Amino acid sequence: MDIQLGAKGFELRENLETYTTEKIEHLQKYLPGIRTARVELVKEKTRASADQNMVQVTLNVQGATLRVEERAATFQAAVDAATLALRKQLERFKGKVYRAEQRGRRKMKEAGLVMEREERSPIMRRKSFSMKPVTPEEAIEEMEGLDHAFYFFMNLETGTYSVVYRRKAGGYGLIEPANP
């Protein structure tokens, strides 16, 4: 995780920097996908001494942004409050992601798209057949006769393997290698 610390209104001491960094790094325990953390420590002049020290933390987590702002009498107390609030946000976010994954799996299973672990393979079906060289026009006729969206064939004109396909906009397309 990349942690960026900034201080405004005071000089950041090493012990506070270490304390803050350790607290923010500890958030990885709750959700390992934290990419960046931006921590801003601000000393403000306010009437209430309990609100003079402000901590703003912004986390970039798996494409989402989580942000918290806390004030306290000391920076350590503000950092503690901010990390506690972020921990709660991370737990909620983690639950949302988990529930979304489960909903997706359940829908796929209902549709019969999820295979059992031992069946998983990137190749779903394998076919092999002999090919005689044909022209692209003959390949289109064969594709239409089979009612397929594409047809793989040995091109009689070029001597290479090619594919003809039905285009969504109408007509047909031909895919062939650039370097036969």
* pLDDT tens digits, one per residue of 141-172: 988 888 889 999 999 999 999 999 999 888 99
Question: Are the C-beta atoms of residues 12 and 41 closer than 8 Å to each other?
Answer: yes
* pLDDT tens digits, one per residue of 70-122: 999 999 999 999 999 999 988 888 888 778 777 777 666 666 655 554 455 67
* CATH number given to 136-175: 3.30.505.50
Query: Maximum Cα–Cα distance for the chain, whole Å?
Result: 89
Phi-psi region of 159 (alpha: psi -120 to 50; beta: other; left: phi over 0): left
Q: Which residues fall within 8 angstroms of residue 136, CB to CB, at 6 or more apart? A: 153, 155, 157, 162, 164, 174
The secondary structure of residue 135, as a DSSP letter, is -
What string of DSSP letters covers 14-79?
HHHHHHHHHHHHHGGGT-TTEEEEEEEEEE---SSGGGSEEEEEEEEETTEEEEEEEEESSHHHHH
* pLDDT tens digits, one per residue of 12-71: 999 999 999 999 999 988 888 888 999 999 998 877 777 889 999 999 888 788 899 999
Question: Can you give the residue ranges of every domain in the chain?
Answer: 2-110, 136-175
Question: Are the C-beta atoms of residues 140 and 119 closer than 8 Å to each other?
Answer: no
Distance CA 43, CA 9 (A): 5
For the whole model, what pTM was predicted?
0.55
Q: Give the up-direction half-sphere exposure of residue 25: CA atoms within 13 A in the CB hemisphere.
A: 8
Question: Are the C-beta atoms of residues 93 and 78 closer than 8 Å to each other?
Answer: no
Determine whether domain 2-110 maps to CATH 3.20.20.70: no
User: What sign does the CA torsion over 29, 30, 35, 39 have?
Assistant: negative
